[in-house]
Amino acid sequence: MKRRAFVTTAVVTAAAGAAGAFTLADGRRPSADPGSPAADGKPAEAADADRRAARRLLPRHADQVRFAPLPATGGRDAFRVSGTEGDILVEGTTAAVRLRGLYWYLAHLARANLTWAGEQTDLPARLPAVGTPLARTANVPHRFVLNDTNDGYTGPYHDWAYWEREIDLLALHGYNEVLVYVGADAVHHRLFQEFGYTDAEVRAWIPGPAHQPWWLLQNMSAFGGPVSRQLLDRRAALGRRICERLRELGMTPVFPGWFGTVPPGFADRNPGAHLVPQGEWAGFARPDWLDPRGTHFRAVAKAYYRLHAELFGASTLYKMDLLHEGGKPGDVPVADAVKGVQGALRAAHPDALWAVLGWQKNPTKELLAAADRDRVLVLDGLSDRFPEVSRREDDWLGTPYAFGSISNFGGHTALGANTPDWSALYHSWLTRAGSRMRGIALMPEAADNNPAAFQLFSEFPWTEAGPDLKEWFSDYALSRYGAQDRKAAEAWDILRRTAYGTTRADRWSEPADSLFAARPSLTATTAASWSPKQLRYDAAEFARALDALLAVAPALRGSAAYRRDLLDVARQCLANESRTRLPALKKAYEAADRPAFARLAEAWLERITLLDTLVATDPDHLLGGWVREARAWGADEAERDRLQEDAVTLLTTWGGRRQAGEGKLHDYANRDWAGLVGGLYHLRWKTYLDSLTTALDEARDPEPIDWYTLERRWLDTAGPWPQKATGDTYRVAGQVRAVLRAGVRGR
């Protein structure tokens, strides 16, 4: 078959901050397999990668830290920290593991805190000595992090500055396998031009970056596009730079594998190809699936893995979710499909593992029975979700798996985690007879929040038993703020018992979201369709943590860690109050008590405005920043407008009218961000409450509201949104406490 030559643009410039997609910034051409694993199967490290990371993270103290290699203990990663005051030696099996050792020292001895949501590094001029050496050995080889959805919900338009910091933090927390989706669009762009498609056809099929994760999962296509060739080149450049840094640190980039997703009309361009229509997903038409049994599949898969390696190098771990969330095998036997998909991966990368997400009913026993299970790693997304999940060795036919957690659906800003389940289950599953647990997998749908959960979960691979959570959270408060403080310890003990004390007994792994973010209704119980319908802890008890945090000693209030925690707790107190105030609104309306309803409606809108004022004090909670990042990637004004819509739509309607309606995707990614809370959420509730007021005044039923039309109009006309934080978090958090106290007295 004659292949069409692919089309691409010139290399991105050095000013874009990355190696180019096909030519490096210094003019070199990439090798066919750059940065591939060394002979021992581990990624090749760069000299001094650990020291350079330390300088980025601790510029005032990096010269007091020395790094040295450490032989693996029985093939397992390990670190050892020793040294005198001002002269700390960190030994470890890889650069990333040495950074893990450094952070263990910082968190548990020097009392610093670095997470993806605030930090505290107020260290003494000379780093404290290590009495008894700190030595830890990893109890699992696979320490996987990030979710397929992360590139959508966390930041589809982040640049290298963000990713450099993120990779450093992931290394500090002990992860060695990182999912990398950035740049997969460039691979597909090249791929299908070899199979009969034009440059424009493929670019029209590829969604905007915010929606690309679901395209790679075979759920949808095209929405938010077309993408420009310049955008594809920039994303390829960024993806390559991410992979290079991971390999420098001895970490493994985990890539999306190819399991048969093709653009429309594939059989017309490739006669004889057998396609299986996939129907719909949440109102989107799913792309067709190419039968993995045929020669066409093998040809496309071979080309995909070749092109992916040319751009990003090879890996030893590729993630694919066959028949994800309602995919249809049609007339293709699942066993044959599994053999075709795994066979194509093995042909391209004989030593690679196939990573599969454990989610809903996948992977099925039928799928696993046909696979070479020793070359599969299941990433369990339900370890802490359902109480009946107890023995994965039976569920998955002895396939190796990673204990995992999926939380933070859609990137919600709510705090909380099922930490008692983590502490009770992880080591018991690891050490029981016949255990096939070989890893841990932290997979929030969006990263960069819930810092206490991030830190706690990340410690399990480096401990011999689950911690006493009361002691752990007390220790966390000490490191989080840098010194002992009675009120800080009190606050975190309250948080431990409430937001971080939930369990899978109620069949959830994430907190409830805010009703301020819901499409208005007096009977609303959740904003997102697939979130808990009630709080999973006592709201009044949780609110006491705000009092305690506000009383933390003034000397400890200067860190980003403290400010972020204060904002998160104050924000969540307001969000929680939406669940106590809405029933009062409903009662007043049904009683036709016009004065009471007017008073409660005014208070409801005032709280939305206060919430917007609070989150506007933090640069990570600004819709304007999200939009600014998106527009910066556009090749021209038209694409900048498309990318803005791609980014903002994901947080609101998610898709078009059908997806936002019967598809139930609207507000799935709701979050308490300035511009979103005071913009769309306030507009919706004011419109609704005004309609109820009019109905009371005229003694009639309220007129129905077309919410999608209102949301679409807001998307088209709102903005520009603030891009810089304003106000003082501590002052506004104090206002929140005063409002909450007044509200309690006034009920």
pLDDT at 744 (0 to 100): 60
pLDDT, averaged across the chain: 93
The answer to whether 668 and 530 have CB atoms below 8 angstroms apart is yes
Tokens for 638, please give them. Answer: 């038209």
**Do 149 and 132 share a structural domain?**
no
**Is the model's pLDDT at 13 over the cut of 60?**
no
pLDDT (tens digit per residue) in 502-537: 999 999 999 999 999 999 999 999 999 999 999 999
CATH of the domain at 255: 3.20.20.80
Range from 533-537, 642-646, 720-724 carrying the lowest mean pLDDT: 720-724
pLDDT (tens digit per residue) in 457-468: 999 999 999 999
pLDDT (tens digit per residue) in 82-133: 999 999 999 999 999 999 999 999 999 999 999 999 999 999 999 999 999 9
Among candidate residues 736, 739, 746, 415, the one with its CA nearest the CA of residue 550: 736
361 falls within a domain? yes
551 falls within a domain? no
In terms of phi and psi (left: phi > 0; alpha: psi -120 to 50; beta: otherwise), the region of 608 is alpha
Range from 39-43, 183-187, 483-487 carrying the lowest mean pLDDT: 39-43
Which of 137, 167, 192 finishes a domain? 137
pLDDT at 69 (0 to 100): 97
pLDDT (tens digit per residue) in 302-357: 999 999 999 999 999 999 999 989 999 999 999 999 999 999 999 999 999 999 99
**Do 146 and 125 share a structural domain?**
no
**Do 210 and 124 share a structural domain?**
no
30 falls within a domain? no
CA distance 339 to 370: 7
The answer to whether 378 and 443 have CB atoms below 8 angstroms apart is no
**Do 131 and 159 share a structural domain?**
no
**Is the model's pLDDT at 449 over the cut of 60?**
yes
In this prediction the pTM is 0.94
pLDDT at 477 (0 to 100): 98
**Is the model's pLDDT at 41 over the cut of 80?**
no
The answer to whether the Cα torsion of 721, 726, 730, 735 is positive or negative is negative
304 falls within a domain? yes
pLDDT at 743 (0 to 100): 79
Q: What is the dihedral of CA 413, 418, 420, 422, to 10 degrees?
A: -110
417 falls within a domain? yes
CA distance 670 to 609: 16
Q: How many residues does the chain have?
A: 747
pLDDT (tens digit per residue) in 182-221: 999 999 999 999 999 999 999 999 999 999 999 999 999 9
**Do 529 and 380 share a structural domain?**
no
pLDDT (tens digit per residue) in 693-714: 999 999 999 999 999 999 999 9
170 falls within a domain? yes
**Do 152 and 113 share a structural domain?**
no
Whether the bond between 720 and the residue before it is cis, its omega within 30 degrees of 0, is yes
pLDDT at 11 (0 to 100): 34
CATH of the domain at 527: 1.20.120.670
**Do 434 and 348 share a structural domain?**
yes
**Do 258 and 366 share a structural domain?**
yes
Count: domains in the chain: 3
pLDDT (tens digit per residue) in 141-160: 999 999 999 999 999 999 99
**Is the model's pLDDT at 24 over the cut of 60?**
no
Tell me, what DSSP letter sits at residue 5? P
**Do 230 and 115 share a structural domain?**
no
Range from 105-119, 635-649, 732-746 carrying the lowest mean pLDDT: 732-746
Q: Label residues 408-426 b or e (16+ Cβ within 10 Å = b).
A: bbbbbbbbbbbbbbbbebb
Tell me, what DSSP letter sits at residue 676? I
pLDDT at 547 (0 to 100): 98
Q: Decide which of 13 and 123 is more confident.
A: 123
The whole-number average pLDDT for the span 626-632 is 98
Helix or strand run (H / E) with residue 365: helix 365-370
The whole-number average pLDDT for the span 444-462 is 97
CATH of the domain at 101: 3.30.379.10
480 falls within a domain? no
**Do 333 and 412 share a structural domain?**
yes
pLDDT at 745 (0 to 100): 52
Which of 120, 137, 154 finishes a domain? 137
Among candidate residues 570, 407, 385, 440, the one with its CA nearest the CA of residue 495: 570
pLDDT bucket at 747, cuts 50 / 70 / 90: low
Tokens for 7, please give them. Answer: 């089309």
pLDDT (tens digit per residue) in 344-363: 999 999 999 999 999 998 99
Owning domain of residue 132:
51-137
Please report how the helices 95-105 and 160-172 are oriented relative to each other, as an axis angle in degrees rounded to 10. 70
Range from 71-85, 290-304, 370-384, 600-614 carrying the lowest mean pLDDT: 71-85
**Do 410 and 279 share a structural domain?**
yes
- What lies within 8 Å, CB to CB, of 301 at 6+ separation is 258, 341, 344, 345, 347, 348
pLDDT at 29 (0 to 100): 34
**Do 128 and 215 share a structural domain?**
no
45 falls within a domain? no
Which of 116, 137, 158 finishes a domain? 137
